[in-house]
Amino acid sequence: MNAVVIMAGGRGERLWPVSTPQRPKQFLRLFDERTMLQTTADRVAGWIAWKDMYVITAAEHVHLVRNQLSSLPPDNVVGEPVGRGTALCIGVAALLVRRSDRHAVMIVLPADHVIRDQRRFQALLKRGAEIAASGSHLITLGITPDHPATGYGYIHAGEPWQGHRDVFTVQAFTEKPSYERAREFIATGDYYWNSGMFIWRVDTILAEIERHLPQLYAGLMELDPHLNGPGAADALVRVYADQPPQSIDRGVMEKSDHALVIPAAAIGWSDVGDWAAWAQLLPADKDGNVVQASHVGIDTHGAIILSQRDRPIATIGVDDIVIVDSAAGLLVMRKDRAQDVKKLFSSHKPQA
């Protein structure tokens, strides 16, 4: 059995003011008529049955998931009382999946990524699922880097796994490097961006959590009897309160001897991590401007302009500027400061 777990707990802070705490980016229609969550489910629908698809989200967003994925069984959605990182999120999902099959292959996907080549992507997932089913492997998809990004983690690929040229052992994981180090990584041709997408057997990941994160594992065992039961909400609050934040990358993947990476080249991947990344996925006009608004500009180049309000935006003599106007607020910044939007939530905390 193959199952898909969609992690939909992100806050999407870098896409404020369109993405808000009440409706983060995974629940928005940023590119077409389908939300990012719906598009993520669409990529595996037809291969994975709805009964074998699970979503972990914030407690306050459970209703959004159920509204947007109406074919999903209600018990396949879990609302986290508070964010504690991907390790606990994945552990909870593993408990749910193993109720159907203790040896099921579990495919973990973030809810807020763009992947243009669905056919190739699904082929990679199937390849990973075949490998995961055969043993105790922790598989991640690695994105071939096209520039020295400093906002992603990097995977250092080692030797081809068992002689296969499409799967590699993992030598090391490196968190967000400096620009110069990222350039060195890319020059070697042996590094990939960490996509945050994983494939493993459910018994394998639970065994690895037990080995490397014993406190988290103990919490999962306390929670297990109550999931989907009348005491689930109280049990979730109690267990989550006792767990420190922990990512699956640092908590398990970096420590495991069983990690493999499958290069995911040419799938048209983006995590839409800020407004600059959003604009790269849309066509620009002759002046390099990406505009989704009523806009009048003079000597305006390389701008990103988006409005959800019924009023015009005018620009004169500006380059590489971002203007985003919504009911939640107005954002104006230089394009090269796109990653800094998240800082607003740790300092000024704009009302959304």
Provide the residue ranges of all domains of the chain, joining segments of one domain with +.
2-270, 275-346
Supply the pLDDT for residue 347: 63
* Dihedral Cα 300, 302, 306, 312, nearest 10 deg: 10
**How many Å apart are CA 8 and CA 76, to the nearest integer?**
13
Residues in contact with 89: Cβ distance below 8 Å, sequence separation at least 6, in sequence order: 7, 9, 56, 80
**Of 70, 77, 103, nearest in space to 5 by CA:** 77
| CATH number of this structure's domain 2-270 | 3.90.550.10
Q: Over its length of 352 residues, how does the chain's per-residue pLDDT go in tens digits?
A: 999 999 999 999 999 999 999 999 999 999 989 999 999 999 999 899 999 999 999 999 999 999 999 999 999 999 999 999 999 999 999 999 999 999 999 999 999 999 999 999 999 999 999 999 998 999 999 999 989 988 899 999 999 999 999 999 999 999 889 999 999 999 999 999 999 999 999 999 999 999 999 999 999 999 999 998 899 999 999 999 999 999 999 999 999 999 999 999 889 999 999 999 999 999 999 999 999 999 999 999 999 999 999 999 999 999 999 999 999 999 999 999 999 999 988 765 665 4
Supply the pLDDT for residue 89: 98
Length of the chain: 352
- Fill in the amino acid letter for 78: V
**How many Å apart are CA 201 and CA 208, to the nearest integer?**
11
Q: What is the separation of C-alpha 71 from the centre of its chain, rounded to a whole number of angstroms?
A: 22
The residues with which 90 forms a beta bridge, in sequence order, are none
Compute the half-sphere exposure of residue 270: CA atoms within 13 Å on the CB side of its CA.
18
The DSSP secondary-structure symbol of 48 reads B
- Fill in the amino acid letter for 128: G
**How many Å apart are CA 253 and CA 208, to the nearest integer?**
9
**Of 135, 146, 263, nearest in space to 208 by CA:** 135
Are 333 and 321 within 8 A, CB to CB? yes
Supply the pLDDT for residue 240: 97
pLDDT tens-place string over residues 321-348: 999 999 999 999 999 999 999 998 876 5
**Of 26, 34, 23, nearest in space to 60 by CA:** 23
**Residue spans of beta strands (DSSP E) within 135-205:** 138-143, 154-160, 168-174, 191-201
Cβ–Cβ contacts within 10 Å for residue 197, how many?
Answer: 24
Supply the pLDDT for residue 349: 61
Does the pTM of the predicted model rise above 0.75?
yes
Number of H helices, E strands in the chain: 11, 17
Supply the pLDDT for residue 47: 95
**How many Å apart are CA 150 and CA 107, to the nearest integer?**
26
The residues with which 45 forms a beta bridge, in sequence order, are 48
**Residue spans of beta strands (DSSP E) within 280-328:** 290-292, 295-298, 304-307, 313-316, 321-326
- What is the token pair recorded at 204? 């394998």
Supply the pLDDT for residue 350: 66
